[in-house]
Amino acid sequence: EIVLTQSPGTLSLSPGERATLSCRASQSFSSSYLAWYQQKPGQAPRLLIYGASSRATGIPDRFSGSGSGTDFTLTISRLEPEDFAVYYCQQFGGSPRTFGQGTKLEIK
């Protein structure tokens, strides 16, 4: 089983700042199978990034993904008020298709 560990657990930043979220895997897998999601309270998760670095339809270009092997990063270049939410990574490189435990991005 591929275990995904996200860090930090909580990130406190101000609008306009840059956010860097990490997702580290217990074993290497193809970056084609790494996705990032945003979840706001009371809503289903929304796909942001697939294939580690491709933005999903309608996702602003301030969101970017990078990484390979076991280390992946989601970067939000300039935080907007609507970006404060919980972010999850998920891998589809093996079964079970595990999620990270999430990073809560909160307003400082």
Partner 1 sequence: QVQLQESGPGLVKPSGTLSLTCAVSGGSISSSNSWWSWVRQPPGRGLEWIGDIHPSGTTNYNPSLKSRVTISLDKSQNQFSLKLSSVTAADTAVYYCRAYTGYTSFDPWGQGTLVTVSS
Contact footprint for partner 1 (CB under 8 A): 1, 32-33, 35, 37, 39, 44-47, 50-51, 54, 56-57, 88, 90, 92, 95-102
Rounded CA-CA distance 95/21 in Å is 24
Closest by CA position to 75, among listed 45, 105, 99, 100: 105
What are the Cα distances from residue 108, in Å, to 9, 22, 104? Answer: 15, 19, 12
In the complex, the smallest distance separating the C-beta of residue 94 from partner 1, rounded to whole angstroms, is 9
In the complex, the smallest distance separating the C-beta of residue 14 from partner 1, rounded to whole angstroms, is 25
Nearest residue (CB) to partner 1, 14 versus 44: 44
Nearest residue (CB) to partner 1, 3 versus 78: 3
In the complex, the smallest distance separating the C-beta of residue 45 from partner 1, rounded to whole angstroms, is 6
In the complex, the smallest distance separating the C-beta of residue 88 from partner 1, rounded to whole angstroms, is 6
Closest by CA position to 89, among listed 103, 99, 80, 81: 99
Rounded CA-CA distance 108/96 in Å is 35
